[in-house]
Chain A
């Protein structure tokens, strides 16, 4: 090779060498520059700068290290580097909203943030050191951080028992139960009840085909334009449990036709005694008397009614039973009388007590319902039906299972369905790619999927079998929270202690008390050993609290002790024998060891002590601001006019020591009484006696 060429090649080589060394140096430079510019490093520098402008710089920088910080919780398979950027997370002085994120302190919660890290609650990618990777969906990590609106879902992932701190989650879990989601779906921690909706075996004897048609078409009857839920034309905050199915006219006709023919196991109509009917039939005050009985029996403790007073229509009553404003136009008169006499003969799991009806009361109340609680135009927009044709009945029978009706309703002879819908036990930990978005325009995140699915199932999948629920915005948030809490993970060993099984075993009793307890459905409203309703007082310790005579008198004629309460105990018309059985059992069995009657010998209460107690009651402690005696006092606590005949003195003394030790949710403040004060107050209360003839309690509050 000539030297000339050689030189050229050398030159070129030199040039290439020069260029490549420049590129090499540049590449070398990129790496440290990039490292210097990492998100977390910048945030750490910003944090140092922030602390310099604060008065407590030293304290804020006490445990600061310019490096990636990591919280590792192997038991929960969590690696959490969030505190690398969120440096101020445990610094109380940075709690103020004016502190810029990511440095603001976490509001105080029952968990120590430094021990638990962030992603256990907030989700997202704990390993990430880039802002976007940590909070959003990336190719490698499909669980973005949870909107704070649903954060209580993370509490529920570990704490299966109800927590007082998580109102939204608790509400959502309650909705999952009351809306019968377990009818079609499998849910974590929610057991399938024996039967969900009404038994339809004899529905043909209860309602007309036109009513079924109208109900299936829209169980809500009317939804106002502003989205307020209206049942039978009246506003009602409670969602009917039956959702709306998307049914064609043909399907509606077939299903209503099929259901209206069902009467295979019907109960023969009840025949009123002829002298009752003869005595009352023609009387002008028949319906008024019926209404009086209806009110006296406190049906509205469980059922709501639209009542118009002074031109204003309001819903009045409880939500344990169905709304009754127009029930007279819904159910057949024959069916109504047999239902009132014995609800459990129609529906074994019905919560309605079996009242002791006299023939006359039953006649009056059923006449009142059939003539006053009606609306002649209720079914006016339903088509006129001929008796159902055979092919309609055939189609209806098929639709009953195809549409999933048999997941919630029982018809004798039709096999019930289970797991009709998808298993949702691990919905909360699903990735977006595991959910079927189809062609919908929904944002591809699990949270958006759940929101869309329960708002409008057809928006996600036009062919969805899931019916349409109409939920208030608060209910939507609550349900989404409860569903997100179902991560399907079983507790790892160290955390098992947290996951307590929810609820208490059912309270059952054998013998005569057990029979009455079942008959009058005590546990629908009252709580026994942690099991039962919360509408009425917990009776677990009733024997320690109340005197037996008082219990018996109360059962005969329930008078409320709390005049502000809208809901009163119904009068069951119990026989004397039933009353003494219940009073005996309650006073003997339902006791707490914390109250020992032998501790208080009622004889040592002297009139002087009672006088001192009266002064303490009225002046020093001002008990009258919450309790009523006679006609003066407040409405918060129970009426004490008859306390001497009602409460056991031993209970009173123990109660005054610490009310919450006997009833944890008691409102009465725990105060510092001396022993003398306690005895004096008890002595005074024991002198408060009312003669049996005078009415007990205030006459307030028969309605809202």
Chain B
């Protein structure tokens, strides 16, 4: 039949075909005579042209074409210009396999239209509200970035890949968070992201979604709004604590080095005293020894001399002097001992 088609097509093609359809019909009618036959020919020619057009298709960069013949998968083509069987025998589905797609959980940047595709219909916060292992509530928003790395599986193994990703991702994030305390969830986000990514990929592979998780990132984890002030208070208290410690340290360092200085001075003073004491003692002793040495040479006369020198110095200075002869009696009451000073 195809051969036939070409034969019939040729005479028409050789002529300068005007754009006017009616003109074409008229000419065809004149060539073939019968009105029914010419109509059939028009249809056949039209279909052929259409078929040629529908047989050629283009796959742009970053995508692949998955080709099905009568519904059965036959092959996947890379980007470029390709030919397939027309009239719906072969169908091509383009999958942008290189594109990195982001799915956001518990954040409001997602458009409502996109979100409502998914079953629950609850609010965004409900996506990120979860229970920790110590049965506290916490908000964990996150982003999953993925590529459709296996277009065959992506198309033919799971009906709602995006919904599956959403569900599995939520389930796994909650499982990971469910095994951690609230403190860990707030402070150790990195570990959670790593664990969740690993488990998510495993689950997605098991479900044959054909999805490769490129990145899983936790956004700011917080506690629900009613609880937030009390968490801020904890931070404040922590700062206060640090401040108090700093102040105490400040007082410490203000006093202690000065006290050390004082102490050193005290010790140095004592050392000075010791030096002085010994020097003086040695001096005194040496002086005495020198004196003694000479004294020993002429004991009696030196003794007399020293005595008299001293007396000579002392006696003239004295105030009232009485010289009594103990042989005389009754003189004592005459003395006016109360009088001060000498004459």
A, B: real partners: no
